[in-house]
Amino acid sequence: MGKLEIIKDQILGQLREDFVAKKLSAQNLERGYEGVSMDELKHAHEDTPVEFDLAFSELEKSNLVDTGPMVAHKNTPGSGFFVLGVYSERKYAFLRAAGYKTAIQIGYHLQKKGHASKKVTTEEVHFYGLHTTIIEKCGELFENGSYAEAVEKSFKVVRYRLRELTGYETGSDAFGKGKLHIDGAAAEHVGADFNQGVKFLTMAIDMFRNEKAHTVEGNIYEPTRAHQYLSLSSLALSLLEKAHCG
C-alpha cells in the first residue's frame, strides 16, 4: 500500500469517527455538515504536508469528501464586474455518502489482508479492527449490508467456540458445568473478577442472540450498531484464546 493510499485511509477513518461520534444520519452525508477542521486533519500529517494535500485532493475529486462552509462571492461595489456563486472557505472537511461506505470497507479489507499475510504494518492498523475469525465468517455479510445476519453469525461463532472448549454452547453452562477458566487477568488476586466478567460477556451474547431471534432484522439497520455487536463477539473470541477447563 502506497503512502498516499495510507493517508487517504487515515483521513476517511478520522472523518467517519467524527461522524459516528456526532450521531449524524445519512441525510447529513447528502446535505453536508460541520466535520473535522482542516487544521486538525493537517496536524495529524504535519510531517508529510505535500502527501496530505495530494491525498485530500484525490478524495475530493472522487467525491468521497467535501469541505465547507459554503459562502457567497464578495463583489467589489462599483467594479463593474459581478460574480454570482458560492465557494468553500475550506475550514472543515466532511464525508459524502460514498466516502462513508469506503471508510467501512477499508476496515474490512485491511483486516482481511492482515489475516491472509499475518504481516500488518503499524501504518495499516485500523480502528475498525475485529477478531480475524469474525472477519472471516461475518465480514462479507457486513460489507454487503446484511447487518443482522452478520451479527447473528458472530454470536454463533462464539457459541461454537464455547462448545469446542467445554461441550456447552451457553456462557452459563460453559463456566458452570464446563468449568471454563480464562487466563489473562491484570493480577492474580482479581482473576475471579476477570473470569466473572468474561462469563457475563458470553451470557450477554446469549441473551442478545435470543432477543434478536424474535424479529426478522434483529433491530439492526445500520453499520455502526452492527459493528458494535461484532465487537462484543470479537472481544469474547479474543479472551477465549486463553481459555482452559478445570
Q: What is the pLDDT of residue 235?
A: 95
pLDDT of residue 107: 57
Q: What pLDDT is recorded for position 72?
A: 83
- C-alpha dihedral (29, 227, 156, 207), degrees to nearest 10: -100
Comparing 217 with 205, which gets the higher pLDDT?
A: 205
Rounded Cα distance, 182 and 186, in Å = 12
pLDDT tens-place string over residues 60-116: 999 999 999 988 867 677 666 655 677 899 999 999 999 998 888 765 444 444 443
Q: Are strands 243-245 and 180-182 parallel, antiparallel or unpaired?
A: antiparallel
Give the range with max mean pLDDT: 147-156, 192-201, 206-215.
Answer: 192-201
Q: What is the pLDDT of residue 124?
A: 33
Q: What does the pLDDT read at residue 246? A: 76
Report domain 3-101's class. mainly alpha
pLDDT of 174: 95
DSSP 204-234: HHHHHHHHHTTSSSTT--SHHHHHHHHHHHH
> How far is residue 217's CA from residue 152's CA, in Å, rounded to a whole number?
10
- Model confidence band, residue 126 (pLDDT cutoffs 50, 70, 90): very low
Q: What is the pLDDT of residues 2-60, one digit of tens each?
A: 788 888 988 998 898 889 889 899 899 999 999 999 999 999 888 889 999 999 999 99
Q: What is the pLDDT of residue 214?
A: 72
Query: CA 87 to CA 132: how far, in whole Å?
Result: 45
